[in-house]
């Protein structure tokens, strides 16, 4: 069995895979790492392989614990990948983006795929039907937009994410919701349209924390998959175990 460890900026996720089948998933704060790791090892004593993907900070004692009796891969620019990486600065390519592209290779081989990850940032990653990763784009996510409006202005309030009732905001709060939510939806639909204009045979994946909120509002048809990154990490682990 495989253990996938996804270290984010705020939370850590553990996912246990029986080869390709997701058996277990848990999300927790980094301070709970040791307790959660011991719990997953007790529940799944046959764990033999693991992969760590980290965009946050993980303490040395946690990494040391994760290497006990487990073959561990730390995902970085040197890891063998299941696609041709044509990104001009591969050392700066985020491991989360690498995992998402890898998942697309497994799920949609020999397809033009655009992966949209709606989280802290919205990332766009494109891989061709020739299995070549070309790159994409990075823009601020929903919460980052709300926070930026509040932090960089004197009078605008910090609001919780909410679906606007109308394109025309008739209060400051409704105007903020309209600008942010409608703005990000128009951005995503616009990016998809640009890719479709160039690649008519295009598969689109939407994932990340805000995927559910956004998916029903987009005009373009998409595949929404909240576990796409975890599946990609497991595929990289399997790919490096052959």
Give the residue ranges of the annotated binding site.
Answer: 6-13, 87, 94-97, 117, 120, 172
CA separation for the pair 123, 106 (Å, rounded): 19
Q: Report phi then psi at 148, rounded to 5.
A: -65, -45
Catalytic one of 96, 125, 193, 210: 96
Angle, in degrees to the nearest 10, between helices 95-107 and 228-239: 80
Q: What Rg value do the Cα atoms of the chain yield, rounded?
A: 19
Lookup: tokens for 240:
């490096």
Lookup: tokens for 237:
């682990």
Q: Report phi then psi at 6, rounded to 5.
A: -110, 110
Lookup: tokens for 73:
């891969």
CA separation for the pair 226, 205 (Å, rounded): 10
Sheet with 84-85, strands from edge to edge, namely 84-85, 132-140, 121-127, 112-118, 202-207, 223-224
Give the residue ranges of the annotated binding site for substrate.
Answer: 87, 94-97, 172
Apex CA 9: angle with CA 13 and CA 112, to 5°?
75
96 is catalytic: yes
Give the residue ranges of the annotated binding site for K(+).
Answer: 117
User: Which active-site residues does the annotation give?
Assistant: 96
């Amino acid at each position: 069995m495989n253990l996938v460890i996804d270290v984010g900026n705020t939370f850590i996720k553990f996912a246990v895979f029986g080869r390709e089948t997701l058996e277990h998933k848990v999300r927790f704060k980094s301070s709970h790492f040791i307790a959660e790791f011991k719990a997953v090892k007790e529940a799944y004593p046959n764990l033999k392989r693991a992969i760590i993907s980290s965009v946050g900070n993980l303490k040395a004692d946690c990494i040391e614990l994760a290497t006990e009796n487990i073959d561990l891969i730390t995902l970085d620019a040197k890891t063998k990948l299941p696609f041709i990486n044509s990104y001009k600065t591969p050392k700066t390519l985020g491991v989360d983006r690498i995992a998402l592209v890898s998942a697309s290779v497994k799920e949609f081989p020999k397809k033009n795929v655009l992966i949209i990850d709606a989280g802290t940032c919205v990332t766009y990653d494109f891989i061709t039907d020739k299995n070549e990763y070309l790159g994409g784009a990075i823009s601020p996510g929903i919460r980052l937009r709300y926070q930026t409006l509040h932090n960089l202005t004197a009078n605008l309030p910090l609001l919780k994410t909410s679906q606007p009732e109308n394109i025309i905001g008739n209060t400051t709060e409704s105007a903020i919701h309209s600008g942010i939510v409608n703005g990000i939806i128009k951005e995503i639909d616009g990016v998809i349209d640009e890719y479709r204009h160039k690649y008519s045979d295009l598969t689109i994946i939407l994932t990340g924390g805000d995927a559910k909120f956004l998916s029903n509002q987009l005009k373009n048809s998409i595949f929404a998959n909240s576990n796409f990154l975890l599946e990609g990490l497991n595929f990289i682990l399997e790919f490096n175990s052959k």
